[in-house]
Structure 1
Amino acid sequence: MRKKCSILAAVLICLLAFVGCGKDYTTQFSEVNQLEGVTLELQADTLKSTSATFLLTNGSDQEVSYRLLYHLEEKKDGVWEEFPGTAGATWGEETTAVAAGETAEIPINWKTLCGGIGKGEYRIILLVNDMPVAAEFTQE
């Protein structure tokens, strides 16, 4: 009886592991950086395994706004894949405006959502005026 229970428990654990691994985390953003004059880049010397600061520059002639809703993605075998913890994560409905010609400094801490990142190619995506704006960076 004990042996049957052990085998059953092992089978259930394996099934749960396979169900969790079967999700497709391929990016939902096939096109980014289509908002004319608006760029997002990593601020120099701020990248850590759990956080970074990004600069959102509004080079357009109109105000833009963003909500602190971000997606963190890693490039695997040439394909962008989203970290499960950042898919649709939000911190309130409040929007922040960036005036024409201005730059906003945006600190982002992803530790509580997806832990730390290792070596690799990454990108962070913010929705600015509901359009995805991305900054690519490499963790070495």
Structure 2
Amino acid sequence: MKKGIAVLLALLCMVAFAGCSGDPETQFATVNEMEGVTLELKEDTLKATSGTFLLTNGTDAEISYRDAYHMEKKDADGHWKEFVGTANAQWGEETVAVPAGETVELPINWKNLCGSIGTGEFRLIIEVDGNPIAAEFTRE
């Protein structure tokens, strides 16, 4: 009887965890459609819980980005899946201006929203003047 209850509890736990493990599909069907604006990972800054990104405004006008981000990982089928912690995050109302022709460093610590990332293909997305701008990177 005790073994039967233990097996039943183990099965229920497996089903519960399997239902929570799937990350949602991306909400960003298109990214990087803003001419002259790029986001890239700064060389030698990637860690399991953070990275520094460079946002470059190559336009002739000032741009503004929201002080929030979304993090995604590419699955085995080549689809982007958003980390649950950032999928549920709301874009902040606060914006930061970047003058024309300038590059700013964005130190991003995703530990609280995503935890540590393992290996794979990832992208970090920020919103610039209402447009999603993404930096794709690989962690080996």
Fold conserved between structures, TM > 0.5: yes
Deviations 1:91-139 (A, max 9, x none): 8532100111111110000111111111211111001111100111111
Matches for 1:28-67 after TM superposition, within 5 Å: 28-67=27-66
Matches for 1:79-94 after TM superposition, within 5 Å: 79-90=79-90, 92-94=92-94
Distance 1:130 1:91 in 2: 10
Distance 1:83 1:130 in 2: 21
Q: Secondary structure at the match of 2:31?
A: coil
Which stretches in structure 1 are left out of the alignment for 5+ residues?
A: none
Distance 1:54 1:8 in 2: 47
Distance 1:98 1:88 in 2: 27
Letter in 2 for 1:96: V
TM-score normalised by the chain length of structure 2: 0.87
Which stretches in structure 2 are left out of the alignment for 5+ residues?
A: none
- By how many angstroms is 1:12 displaced? 3.3
Equivalent residues of 1:63, 1:98 under 8 A apart: yes
Letter in 2 for 1:52: G
Equivalent residues of 2:23, 2:84 under 8 A apart: no
Distance 1:26 1:106 in 2: 25
Deviations 1:5-51 (A, max 9, x none): 44553343233223324x55221111100011100011111111110
TM-score normalised by the chain length of structure 1: 0.87
Change (3 A) 1:19 1:118: closer
Equivalent residues of 1:69, 1:88 under 8 A apart: no
Letter in 1 for 2:47: K
- The CA RMSD measured in Å over matched residues stands at 1.9
Change (3 A) 1:107 1:32: same
Change (3 A) 1:88 1:99: farther
Greater per-residue strand proportion = 1
Distance 2:63 2:134 in 1: 15
The alignment covers a number of residue pairs equal to 139
Q: Which runs of 4+ in 1 moved over 6 A?
A: none
